[in-house]
Chain A
Amino acid sequence: MDPISQLEGRTTFIVGSRKNAGKTTFLNYVLARRRRPAACLSVGVESGTADRVFGTPKPRVRLRPGDAAVVPASSLASSDAALEILQVYPAATAIGRPALARARREGTAEITGPATNSGLGGMLRDIAEAGIDTVLVDGAVDRITQAAARAEAGIVYVTRVEPGTLASAADAASLLAEAAECAAAPGWADFFCGGSAPAISGDHAVRGALTPSRAAEVPRDARRLVLEDLTKVFIGWREWSALRRRLKIVFARRLRLKAIAANLYNVTPRELEARLTPAARAKLVYNPYLTK
């Protein structure tokens, strides 16, 4: 599967199984191979204070002329991409004001993002107004929800697989792929924005995260379990499978899983694939930097 063709012309959230899963590396791969101008930003804890606190390098991306990125305004001068400013947002994090900027020549830039979901929505609108339709968002899965739904966004899940984490990584990828296949229940969208629940017999809705304890509370006579979207699933593969045997799981907002990008460390593709469900295998791509 060619992940690039899946990502051009739309907004894609590149989310990781954990820190250092390889999200930014994958993002830079997409940027190196795509054909159309793109915009990049990051969301989640890494775009704010954490990197400053822990001193880890902030994500940098390579831009071509015409590409855009949300960068810390304080880093505009240090970028060698001759950035022109398209928008400056109010300061929201320890890194100060984020700015949407467009590269006037090839170069690298440090990326950052919004502090809130509404801020993310505003940035995505500004990027669209700048005429860029390929948007790559590096970061946290818990920040996807509403902005992603509006932007008809897709997800690329980047996972780091080592012998010690093979089983859990395969389960997580399988669960995500299965969840992405679940049907949509758009009639419930208002409920998750604070509205009232539609009267649908046999439906049981869970606001917020589906945790093991909340999964255990799902009534025995429920026929459908309604969740906001797949980012709200916080149960393991075993609990997920048990629920799926009992009832149908649907999402008020459906997010599209574009690919599962696996970075294998001392694990063979065969070992991983043997543990994945067919749905997960269908979405699988390997570290694109790998060469035989």
Chain B
Amino acid sequence: MNETAAKFCEFDEFLAHYAPLTPYGREEKARGTFYSSPQELENIYDLTADFVAFSRNRAALPAVGATSSASGRNKAKADKLAWHLRHIPELPSDGPASGPAGLFLVHRFLSNFKAVARLLPAPLAKKLGFRWNCAELLTLLDRGAQSGAFHIADSFSPVLAKLRRAITDTDRHLSGLRAERLAGIRKRSGLDFGNLDFLVIAEDRARPLCESGCVFTEPYDAGRVTAKPIMTPAWLELSGERERLRAEEGKAEALACAELWAAVAGAGAELEACARAVELCDRAFARARMARELSLSRPELSPADSPIKVSGARFLPLERTLAGYDLPYTPLDFVFDKRLAVIHGSNMGGKTVVLKTVTLLQLAAQSGFFVPAKKYSAPVFAGLAAVWGDPDDKAEGLSAFGLEMEAFNRAWAAAGEPLLLVMDEFARTTNAAEASALISGVLGEAASNRHVHLMLATHFRAALPREAAALRMLGFDTAAFRKQYKGKTTAGLREKLKTINRFMRYGLAADKSGAGPADALNIAAILGVPARIIKAAERSMEEKNAGN
């Protein structure tokens, strides 16, 4: 259900700016939780607001009374916080089976957790659940850590230290014996292995070396063999001893690793609490960065049945597109004070944008984000749905009309709980009379269901129940356009859009007249529909009006 709304308002584009830094935050992003508890949402907003204040700096957001050095310190702290969060790994879910790699992850997690806890102001750290109860475990793991690297160090086990010293001594002796042996082979045969394991030599050259026990050969091709030096019995004996020591070292490492994992398991509950705190911190910090980047503001959650009030709202994808065309974006102000709203208006007048904007704001707010509006106040719904003729919606055997009805049925099935239902150009693919009748039916049913908050944009006229407000987009300023252009046309899509944008008055008003807008022909003309067609259409309109 919420998915249709998300797609309609291009929520993915909004979410693309949400960049948590830890695996825990990224998981929360992937879950895409839709919150319907006002208390939960207020908690998330509070934390986001705390981080907005924490990371405030003079350049981005001047703080009243903040000195330059204080704001600089905050910026530096925010940067450090981001660095440490970015370096927090996910705790291994496979526990001891993850071996030393898992211990590395636990150590890195705790080192960065500790640093984050120190950077956060104490009240905020407390709110997030940053309690430092793992000092003992970190001190223990620190014994295997150096400059961010981790290994099962000698200090974990006296046996390990002793074995490793023995291995180092053995390696030195082995290296000496090998060098001695290779020098002997070189002297005898001229073959210089250097530090290579094998050489490829002519078969006839290898034969005497083979017979004298200097090298072991294997076929390479028809005339050549790979030759490997045969080491002396002393080397072989010492090599066997090295293998034994290495096996002992492996056992001692495994034992030390198991002991460390026992300590980690003992701190399991604390580590889980740390992971929860990290997720809370990461998501609030990421939401705060996003709020600053996109100039978002905290939504106000109002009681059920309250009006939806919007001031200075921006539909971000459109704002970006218009910026690409060097066109100004007009932020929207509107109040939906009735439970049902029917919006009429010009083609390209912004009906769909109004619906998309309110859907984006509500979905963002209920996903725990600040919103792209100066002010947004709305109740909390159990679900959002959009019925809008999704071009990707396909089902075998169903026409566009069939798919739209199917989408409506799916959305309506959720009307047992508070639902914000957005319908754009409903029934657009059928005839005007039946479309109007269908819209009347939907409005009637929605009027009798107090759970439903409906916003419907349409060109069709239908009888409205008293629970519904009739609204219209201000539309195209035909008089100003005619005065300016006097029948001239513009070339190029960019110019056409600029012209429409210049004369379109974006905004909502109460629709008292009940008459439809009459500027589709102007828009069509600007968009380059041939003048003869436009003239014929105008004549047809005049004849129809005269007949009426």
Q: Which residues of A are interface residues toward B (Cβ below 8 A)? A: 28-29, 32-33, 73-74, 76-78, 80, 82-86, 88, 90, 97, 99, 102, 104-106, 264-266, 287, 289-292
Contacts and interface: CB of A to CB of B under 8 A. Distances in A.
A92 to B, nearest CB: 13
Given A83-B151, A85-B100, A77 B253 contact: yes
Interface of B: 23, 89-90, 98-101, 104-105, 146, 148-151, 164, 167-168, 171, 191-192, 194-202, 220-224, 226, 246, 250, 253-254, 257
Contact of B105 (A77, A80, A88, A291): A88
22 contacts: A28-B197, A32-B195, A76-B100, A77-B253, A80-B246, A82-B164, A84-B149, A84-B151, A85-B100, A88-B101, A88-B104, A90-B23, A99-B104, A266-B221, A266-B222, A266-B223, A289-B200, A290-B199, A290-B224, A291-B192, A291-B199, A292-B202
Contacts of B222: 266
Given A77-B99, A82-B151, A88-B101, A291 B168 contact: no
A287 B100 contact: no
A105 B171 CA distance: 9
A264 B223 CA distance: 11
A41 to B, nearest CB: 16
Contacts of A33: 194-195
Contact of A77 (B150, B196, B250): B250
Nearest to A287: B200
Contacts, number: 75
A147 B382 CA distance: 46
B101 A289 contact: no
Contacts of A76: 99-101
Name, among A33, A88, A106, the residue most crowded by chain B CB atoms within 10 Å (CB to CB).
Answer: A88
Given A32-B194, A88-B104, A289 B150 contact: no
A82 B146 CA distance: 14
A286 to B, nearest CB: 10
Contact of B101 (A73, A264, A265): A73
A83 B101 CA distance: 11
Contacts of B150: 84-85
Nearest to A288: B196
Given A73-B98, A97-B98, 14 more contacts: A29-B196, A76-B100, A76-B101, A83-B151, A90-B23, A105-B167, A105-B168, A106-B171, A265-B221, A266-B221, A266-B223, A290-B224, A291-B200, A292-B202
Contacts of B220: 265
Contacts of A266: 221-223
B171 A85 contact: no
Contacts of A83: 151
A185 B102 CA distance: 45
A161 B99 CA distance: 43
A30 to B, nearest CB: 11
A74 B257 CA distance: 13
Nearest to B97: A74
Contact of A85 (B149, B167, B168, B250): B149
A109 to B, nearest CB: 13
A74 B195 CA distance: 29
A85 B102 CA distance: 10
A291 to B, nearest CB: 5
A112 B544 CA distance: 77
Contacts of B167: 105
A85 B246 contact: no
A78 B250 contact: yes
Contacts of A80: 246
Q: Closest 5 interchain pairs by CB?
A: A73-B101, A84-B151, A265-B221, A85-B104, A84-B149
A57 B194 CA distance: 26
A184 B99 CA distance: 47
B148 A86 contact: yes
A67 to B, nearest CB: 14
B101 A99 contact: yes
A89 to B, nearest CB: 9
A83 B104 CA distance: 12
Contacts of B100: 76-77, 85
A184 B226 CA distance: 42
Contact of B200 (A82, A104, A105, A290): A290
Contacts of A99: 101, 104
Contacts of B148: 86
A289 B196 contact: yes
A287 B254 CA distance: 41
A289 B89 contact: no
A102 B149 contact: yes
B132 to A, nearest CB: 24
A234 B167 CA distance: 50
A32 B101 contact: no
B314 to A, nearest CB: 26
A66 B267 CA distance: 34
Contacts of A77: 99-100, 250, 253-254, 257
B99 to A, nearest CB: 6
Contacts of B168: 105
B433 to A, nearest CB: 45
Given A104-B151, A291-B191, A85 B198 contact: no
A265 B226 CA distance: 12
A234 B254 CA distance: 49
Contact of A74 (B90, B99, B201, B202): B99
A213 B246 CA distance: 57
Contacts of A264: 221
